[in-house]
Amino acid sequence: MPDTAPMLELRDVEVRFDLKRTNLFGAALQLRAVDGVSLSLQRGQTMAVVGESGSGKTTLALAIARLIPVTTGKIRMGDVDLLGLQGESLRTHRRHMQFIFQDPYSSLNPRLRAKDIVREPLDRLSIGSVKSRNNRVQELFEQVGLRQDQLRLFPHQFSGGQRQRIGIARAIASSPSLVICDEPVSALDVGVQAQILNLLRRLQKDLNLTYLFISHDLGVVQHMCDSIAVMYMGKIVEQADPNIPIPRRCCRPCRQRTQIVETGGVAQPSLVIRRTRSICRLAVALLHAVHLWSISAGRICPI
């Protein structure tokens, strides 16, 4: 009987950040960056998380990877409760869950050679012997399309696409089950994007990887992913098949939010609300001032 248990399962996950008090005696305020997110991802599949800038996508990914604290909720990876892991057990489990970052340059240590960057997870997690680690690095370079003579080069000596290949090699070095891809091609040229996406698909097929894929580009999502989750103001507002046209798969409010993603909209809900309220208060104050001035000038009678 096939195993139908999800590789990754989230239930009512919340991530809150404390905000600065507006005054000494004011109540403590919190920002809900992730607000009650629930989703599940099957083994060997790719789920896309899309949304406007500031909607909480990267915060959700960092929470899953236990790189930031989770306020409430449950996160399970297979049979393991990720939020129950601490200290050495958490460090050991990280070999099964790796991250591909958005910026292919700032995510690499400029003082390390490429071979040392790719080998670092093996050293940190004590995987294999010293000789086997060196052989593993050479295999990884071949898998991601880099040459053996590039092992001793520094990150600044590579192009953007090659640097992202180093990041991918580092991510798969520990043979993980889950790889979180945080907009891995958004900083690359269109031609290089296609190469990296094809590389990710080939690696997924060869290594049976599971991807959580964060992106703004719905064209990339349709090419890469088996399912899609749309985030808006920290919540999952829609989950669907990315191959179904937007007007058919969405209700009107969700369709509008998805179309905002397509056009590259920016979400700053708290700032928008504050500005709207400030404008309303300003308008009311101006009308009130004009009304008082008219009364004092004797132009109108008081109400």
Nearest residue to 52 (alpha-carbon basis) of 271, 261, 220: 261
Dist CA 246 CA 50 (whole Å):
13
- According to the model, what pLDDT value does residue 21 have? 75
Using CB atoms within 10 Å of the CB of residue 2, give its burial: 0 to 12 exposed, 13 to 18 middle, 19+ buried.
exposed
Range of the domain at 281: 268-303
Angle between helices 160-172 and 130-143 (to 10 degrees): 130
- Does this model's pTM top 0.95? no
The torsion angles phi and psi of 213, rounded to 5 degrees, stand at: -110, 115
The answer to whether 255 touches 247, Cβ cutoff 8 Å, is yes
- Of the two residues 265 and 15, the one the predictor is more confident about is 15
Residues 243 and 283 in one domain: no
Q: Is residue 65 domain-shared with residue 114, that is, in the same domain?
A: yes
In this structure, the answer to whether residues 98 and 150 fall within a common structural domain is: yes
pLDDT in tens, 209-257: 999 999 888 888 888 899 999 998 889 998 877 666 544 444 444 444 4
DSSP assigned state of 268: -
**Residue 160 and residue 221 in one domain:** yes
Q: Residue 12 domain-assigned?
A: no
Q: Are residues 107 and 205 in the same domain?
A: yes
Burial-class residue 267 by CB neighbours within 10 Å (0-12, 13-18, 19+): buried
Q: Are residues 229 and 290 in the same domain?
A: no
Measure the CA–CA gap between 256 and 260, rounded to whole angstroms.
6
Count of domains observed in the chain:
2
